[in-house]
Amino acid sequence: MLEALLFPHTYLRLDLASLLLAVFDRVVLLQPSEAKPEGPFVQLIEKDMVRLLTPPPLGDKLPWFQRLVHAYEEWGQMMRWPENVSMFKAWPEAVEESVTEIKAEILGQRRSTDDPILRARVILQLAQNLDHRLEELDFEYEKLKHQAQRLSDFVVGQDPTLRRFPQWIVEGKEAHGELPGLGERLKAYAKLVPLLPSIPHCLATDQIEIRDRLLDLAPNIEKRGSFSLMPLRDENRQEILAQNQALLSRLDPHVEDPTPPCVEVWRVPAETKSLLLSLAEGKTPSPGETEFFYFVRG
C-alpha cells in the first residue's frame, strides 16, 4: 500500500484529498491530540483512505487542552477590536490569567512554564480549527455564488449583450491553497515529529514555499518527473489510482511540465524525520532517502 504523510497540514480539505487519493492508497495526517477531528474529511478516515498519527495521548488532560485552545481562540476574537487591544496593553495579566491557569493544570504545575511540546500541540490545533472553518466558508461561498448567478440570470437574463450585475457579485475571489502561518506550522510540526514511532518515507504537500525551501536545503535532490492528474470520483478511483501508480514506475525527468492539476515527484537523499526537522530549522538533514511529492492545484 502506497501512503504518504501530508505536511504541515493537520486538516485535509476535500479538494486536496481528491488529488492525493488519485496517487496514494492512503494519506497519513498528523494530529495534535487523540481527540477525534471534525470536518467532511472524517468520512475518508472511516473508509480507511486517511490514517491519523498522534503523539503520546494527553489522557485525562485532554479536556484541559481543549479548554486551553478555546481560550486562545476567544482571546484572538477579542483582540479584533482596538479598544480590547488597548486594554491588553495596559493590563495584560488579567487577560492572560485564565490561559496560564489552564496550562498549569495540563503541566501539573502550580504555575505554568513554557512547554515547547504543549505549545506545538496548541498551534497545530488552532491551525486545524482555522483550516476547517476556511473550508466551511469556501462551501458557503460556492453556494452564494451559485445563488447570485441564478439571481443575475433572472434579473438581466443570459444575453451577454445585457449589462450584468457587478462582477464581484457573481465572480468573487477564488480560494487559494496557501496555508496561513506556514512558518509557525512547520516549527510546531517539527516539535511533534520526534515523538512519533515511525512515519512514511513519502512526504506530500501542496505548498510552493516548502518545495522552494527543499530545493535550497537539499542540493542533491533529484527530480524523477511529473504528470497531470485526472479528476477523481468514487466510481473511478481504483482505475485512476492504478494508472497514476503505473506512471510513478516510469517517470521521465525530461518530459515538459504537465498541465495542472499535476504532481511533481522528487527523490531526496535525506532521512524523512530529519528532513522535516531541517525544513523547519534550516539545518542539514541526515543521510537517507525520502520521496517528496509536490501537488499543483488546477
pLDDT in tens, 253-277: 888 889 999 999 999 999 999 999 9
Q: What is the pLDDT of residue 113?
A: 62
Shortest CA distance to 9 belongs to which of 199, 181, 137? 181
In the chain, pLDDT over 70 holds for what percent of residues? 79
Calculate mean pLDDT across residues 222-242. Answer: 87
Where does the pLDDT of residue 5 fall: very low under 50, low under 70, confident under 90, or very high at 90 and above?
Answer: very high
Q: CA 278 to CA 270: how far, in whole Å?
A: 10
Calculate mean pLDDT across residues 50-71. Answer: 95
Q: What is the pLDDT of residue 31?
A: 98
**Predicted confidence (pLDDT) per residue in 17-36, tens digit:** 999 999 999 999 999 999 99
Q: What is the pLDDT of residue 82?
A: 60
Q: What is the pLDDT of residue 176?
A: 61
- Residue whose C-alpha cell is 482571546: 75
pLDDT at 188 over 60: yes
Average pLDDT, the chain: 85
pLDDT at 87 over 50: no
The residue ranges of every structural domain in the chain are: 3-56+186-296
φ and ψ of 290, to 5 deg? -135, 140
pLDDT at 221 over 90: yes
Calculate mean pLDDT across residues 104-128. Answer: 79
Q: What is the pLDDT of residue 171?
A: 55
Q: What is the pLDDT of residue 174?
A: 57
Q: What is the pLDDT of residue 173?
A: 57
Amino acid identity, position 123: I
Q: What is the pLDDT of residue 85?
A: 46
Q: What is the pLDDT of residue 219?
A: 79
pLDDT at 55 over 60: yes
Positive/negative CA dihedral, 121, 123, 126, 128: negative
Q: What is the pLDDT of residue 123?
A: 95
Calculate mean pLDDT across residues 176-193. Answer: 93
Secondary structure in 3-state letters for 134-188: HHHHHHHHHHHHHHHHHHHHHHHCCCCCCCCCCHHHHCCCCCCCCCCCHHHHHHH
